[in-house]
Structure 1
Amino acid sequence: MTEEDRFTKSIFDNALKVIRDPAAFFRQMPREGGFGAPVIFLAAMVFLGLIVNLIGAALIIRPHNLGGGLIMLIAAPVIMVLLSFVSAAVLFLIWRIIGSKQSYETAYRCMAYSCGILPVTSAISFIPFAGVVLSTLWGAYLIISASIHVHGIKPAKAWAVWGIIAVIFIGINLSAEMGSRYAARNMVRQRLEMQKLQDNAVKEMQKAKKEMYK
């Protein structure tokens, strides 16, 4: 069994290592060996994260509204794998700018294995506002760990660069969440107003019928 085989023999073991001790994980992570193992790991984490989302949504949303979620359970891992190569390219560019000498494959591996927290952050995401903040900060911490222990970036520089990026993402995500919650409240209010108008119309019709038969 090769070093790569030993390292990738258990998807769940690797996810637990990323969650429990990311610094040790990234120090031990093979820098190369192909894209197969990290791609499979990422797809598995996306799939598990979506299952957590569906379970959480089932407790809040009526089952007949979950059809889209079931479709995404099949499509999302494929879509995310395709997008992951673009995400890794962005990370690779930033790492190169701040001094990394590692390859694109290494950047991809760092990004893919950082997704080991997806099942947990999917659960955290149901906490209003705080979920966005905690998930973003946790993800940033993993990228910082990879920057230090894989790419050889000085801790101060890694924390400064990725900290600023994390703050920007938190601001964007919080604004998006506030907007979606405001839109949802408006939809509920409009629905209630429409229902009230319908009820009043029915009452007026019933009243008119009574007047006709007097």
Structure 2
Amino acid sequence: MDYIETWKEVIQRPSDFYRKMPTTGGYVEPLTFAAISSLIYGLLAALFNREMMGGMYGMGGGGFSFSTALMTVIMAPIAGIISILIGAAIIYVIYKILGGTGTYEGTVRFISYANAVMVIYWIPIIGWIFGLYEIYLYIVGGMFVHNVSMGKSAIAVLLPIILVFLLAIIIAVLAGLFASSRIFPF
């Protein structure tokens, strides 16, 4: 696997990439690609986002140490792969409900390659914009892997995001109600 060429093709020509991407062939190559993207993210975030890294690991926002950077570099690929496998399972089920014909393996593959944007996440503002582009990559990848329309693919990708936001709002509202009431007097 040529990481750089694959990365460029996913970012620059996602429709062409996903159209040609095999939906079978194992998990090693796509997950290795995603792990490399996450590793690069971890390295760059540890090197350039020192303030963020200190705050993330509970060091008061200003602390930075070699151990924090090392932890970030090690944990980024592990957390990335775990989130791909779990996210793919959730999205796969939604695609199936919407009539998609793809497989779980194909779902893992397109999500793994969509993680190419991880390389850019560490850059303030630009990283956030590429986060939106990653959603687009999910939608395009899902269209080809599951043989569905862009609308159905968008539903499959956006539904979990919307449900998580709604759940967070419900929890925040309930927490506020419980905190302001005498139902739980602690």
TM above 0.5, one fold? yes
Match of 2:84 in 1: 84
Match of 2:136 in 1: 141
Following the alignment from structure 1 to structure 2, what is the Cα–Cα distance between the partners of residues 97 and 29?
Answer: 23
Select between 148-157 and 114-123 the one with higher mean Cα deviation.
148-157
1:63 CA drift (Å): 7.0
**In the TM superposition, what whole-angstrom CA distance separates every residue of 1:127-186 from its partner, at most 9, and x where no partner exists?**
3xx854x2432111001101222221112333355456556778999xxxxxxxxxxxxx
2:111 paired with 1:111: yes
Match of 2:45 in 1: 53
Q: Which amino acid aligns with 1:104?
A: Y
Higher helix share: 1
Q: Is the 8 A contact 2:95 2:153 kept in 1?
A: no
Q: Is the 8 A contact 1:92 1:107 kept in 2?
A: yes
- For residues 171 and 45 of structure 1, do their structure 2 counterparts lie closer, same or farther at Cα, with a shift above 3 Å needed? farther
In the alignment of these two chains, the number of paired residues is: 160
Following the alignment from structure 1 to structure 2, what is the Cα–Cα distance between the partners of residues 34 and 161?
Answer: 23
TM-score by length of 2: 0.73
Following the alignment from structure 2 to structure 1, what is the Cα–Cα distance between the partners of residues 66 and 15?
Answer: 38
Q: Is the 8 A contact 1:102 1:151 kept in 2?
A: yes
Q: Is the 8 A contact 2:9 2:17 kept in 1?
A: yes
- For residues 165 and 137 of structure 1, do their structure 2 counterparts lie closer, same or farther at Cα, with a shift above 3 Å needed? farther
**In the TM superposition, what whole-angstrom CA distance separates every residue of 1:82-119 from its partner, at most 9, and x where no partner exists?**
33221211121121122211111111101111101111
Please point out which of 2, 12, 18 is paired with 1:10.
Answer: 2
Match of 1:176 in 2: none
Structure 1 vs Structure 2: percent identity of aligned residues? 21
Following the alignment from structure 1 to structure 2, what is the Cα–Cα distance between the partners of residues 76 and 164?
Answer: 25
Following the alignment from structure 2 to structure 1, what is the Cα–Cα distance between the partners of residues 21 and 95?
Answer: 17
**In the TM superposition, what whole-angstrom CA distance separates every residue of 1:49-93 from its partner, at most 9, and x where no partner exists?**
111212221488767445323212123312332332212111211
Residue 101 of structure 1: SS of its match in structure 2?
coil
**Which protein is bigger by CA-based radius of gyration?**
1
- For residues 122 and 95 of structure 1, do their structure 2 counterparts lie closer, same or farther at Cα, with a shift above 3 Å needed? farther
2:21 paired with 1:26: no
RMSD: 2.8
Residue 150 of structure 1: SS of its match in structure 2?
helix
Please point out which of 145, 150, 173 is paired with 2:145.
Answer: 150
